[in-house]
Structure 1
């Protein structure tokens, strides 16, 4: 299929465009995708592909939002406002029972609380409301003893960590993100889309299963038994991920687990600001903080997703990039990450939901081309 690819790449980054064009041409339908890359604070890749997507098109980015949420937590830890070794219950007294009172903030942020959902689940209106989620989970029974295992808290981790932020600062996580990160850099990555930006928003589009995708899914391992619960698929009817991202309540409220709206430029810009100078401002994270968020916090198997050694401090580790890289994917296929070693920041979004979900396969060759170009630039 011929898909229009627009945008620019800097000299030395041409291979990235070639990979982007190759995957776009191979898609059965237009991916409606964006790719932006910063190197040493300079945007070196700025591409988009599709019939109804430009560089400025805003759309739901799903769990890429977790990167923004956990960057807020990292900043507050760096400032001394939050203490990772302090029990969550000392910030949030209602967070108690079933061993939760012993859970530290470090364990909570790294998906160890066991509070992946409730047996009755959440309606779409409820799962768009972080305050409601936090209140409901505060006294709930975890799905495993807190701190003894870990598993992806797909739609609730932002509500849990966000409640700690609110108790410690008097502000919501979204307010801190806006003040400390989004507004100073003018980032097109929002936790709660402002009404005046609605004309730039385009919906996430349903996935189109491919023969290759179905074969890979059929031949892969069965998902862990708790995955259905964590993704709110145990309710009737099961949660529709496309409907979730496109729901006006999700867009406007911005649940911090997966309700963000943005562009690839916004994602890459956030990660560039995290690790280096951007727009005349110093890096948000000190080198030691960046190293701590990237460090493995969860060895072994994730009890919710088929992942191993999954998380640093809230961020997903990026083994294909390097041991000091950190970031987060999004369900439609997007990905954002930063690598302090090569000084690369990567942002990829797609409006056409990839199959079967999670970081889309094209991120592999795109990332490889990006890292090769970055290393060549350093050597040159």
Structure 2
């Protein structure tokens, strides 16, 4: 499979690493890789099957946009991390949730991972509808005591706090403060005019060994993981197909429905940590450090695997040996990964069109990140 695009002098090794794993059907039909050194784009690559301008579903990498909006509003003094969610959103106090703070919610400690009865497909496309249903839901564990990934609902929960505090949606804040000023190809709510650039997500092509591993890891729809990913709801579809719906793409659901490119994701993190086009960084160093500081670490009750979260953002210093302490970002079920590494001075984004095995940041990200760190010297 051919590699297209450009790299700055000294980053040829990144191009070589990108080309090295683009063999076989697993990576067909296409992936994108962008790296910014500070605010300068130094790697802009894509493989056959996509272009640098193609828009792909980034799944949970979407969450980075939601958390960046929240961080900006905390930085502005509009939101307070240790104030209760219910003080902004009174209905949320139902069923013993009155003491949950915004900090605990962002750290995936609230226990409000889904609904007993599940969501309809129409509700899952609409963050305000998700929030309205969750206000009366009893938590699935004692809030604050444990943590578990609120995979399909965290954007709605945080977004409702933003709406109640400001009278404006998270999507409106993202467009005004982040996407439009930096002309980012990362959308919460894809306009009809951008639809021709969107490429549908394709399902996993699992080897026999991977298929056996998938079967061995199967869960019941009523497990914590099943409820968190709405698998117990009638008519729930496959997760890979979720953003292939125009209604989902247009709705701008902030947990998993973002549509964009590696350029858009890397640009967002570069703008946040380093600044773009002569602008100051969106986040002050203290704000970035607080949101990147580990708040939840250990076994995730939903996924059953070790995980580390800051305030919303995944933290990667313990997961990837290549990243520095304080690196923050988010991965997506399709294999995407986007992050900023303030200590080492780069922003990184990788996207792919084919859904990855076993979900989350695809394995090639570790090799790609190492190639970036080596190039930075």
TM-score between the two structures when normalised by the length of structure 1: 0.94
Residue 302 of structure 2 corresponds to: 304
In the aligned structure 2, how far is the partner of 1:114 from the partner of 1:355?
27
Residue 351 of structure 2 corresponds to: 349
CA contact under 8 A between 1:271 and 1:345: conserved in structure 2?
yes
Pairing partner for 2:194 from 194, 197, 211: 197
Residue 148 of structure 1 corresponds to: 145
Describe the superposition over 1:65-101 as per-residue Cα deviations: whole angstroms up to 9, x where unpaired.
1000000000000010000000000000111123210
In the aligned structure 2, how far is the partner of 1:39 from the partner of 1:275?
11
In the aligned structure 2, how far is the partner of 1:112 from the partner of 1:350?
30
Q: Which shows bigger deviation, 206-215 or 316-325?
A: 206-215
TM-score between the two structures when normalised by the length of structure 2: 0.95
Residue 50 of structure 1: CA displacement?
2.3
Residue 258 of structure 1: CA displacement?
0.5
CA 1:83–1:349 in structure 2 vs 1: closer, same or farther (change >3 Å)?
same
In the aligned structure 1, how far is the partner of 2:296 from the partner of 2:217?
23
CA 1:307–1:4 in structure 2 vs 1: closer, same or farther (change >3 Å)?
same
Residue 13 of structure 2 corresponds to: 15
Residue 126 of structure 1: CA displacement?
1.1
CA contact under 8 A between 1:209 and 1:356: conserved in structure 2?
no
Residue 71 of structure 1 corresponds to: 68
CA contact under 8 A between 2:261 and 2:351: conserved in structure 1?
yes
In the aligned structure 2, how far is the partner of 1:173 from the partner of 1:371?
33
CA 1:66–1:25 in structure 2 vs 1: closer, same or farther (change >3 Å)?
same
CA contact under 8 A between 2:85 and 2:101: conserved in structure 1?
yes
CA 1:38–1:238 in structure 2 vs 1: closer, same or farther (change >3 Å)?
same
In the aligned structure 2, how far is the partner of 1:99 from the partner of 1:239?
31
Secondary structure of the 1:299 match is strand
Q: Which shows bigger deviation, 116-125 or 263-272?
A: 116-125
Residue 368 of structure 1: CA displacement?
1.1
Pairing partner for 2:111 from 87, 109, 114: 114
Correspondence 1:252 to 2:250: yes
Unaligned stretches of 5+ in structure 1? Answer: none
In the aligned structure 2, how far is the partner of 1:28 from the partner of 1:130?
32
Q: Which shows bigger deviation, 273-282 or 221-230?
A: 221-230
In the aligned structure 1, how far is the partner of 2:238 from the partner of 2:120?
11
Pairing partner for 1:272 from 256, 270, 273: 270
Residue 146 of structure 1: CA displacement?
1.5
Unaligned stretches of 5+ in structure 2? Answer: none
CA contact under 8 A between 1:24 and 1:31: conserved in structure 2?
no
Describe the superposition over 1:80-135 as per-residue Cα deviations: whole angstroms up to 9, x where unpaired.
00000000000001111232100000001111111100111112111001111100
Pairing partner for 1:334 from 333, 336, 347: 336
Residue 329 of structure 1: CA displacement?
0.3
How many residues align? The count is 372
CA RMSD of aligned residues (A): 1.8
In the aligned structure 2, how far is the partner of 1:259 from the partner of 1:287?
29
Q: Which shows bigger deviation, 302-311 or 9-18?
A: 302-311
Residue 307 of structure 1: CA displacement?
3.3
CA 1:212–1:111 in structure 2 vs 1: closer, same or farther (change >3 Å)?
same
Q: Report matched runs for 1:281-292 at 5 Å.
A: 281-292=279-290
CA 1:5–1:215 in structure 2 vs 1: closer, same or farther (change >3 Å)?
farther
Residue 308 of structure 1: CA displacement?
2.5
In the aligned structure 1, how far is the partner of 2:27 from the partner of 2:366?
20
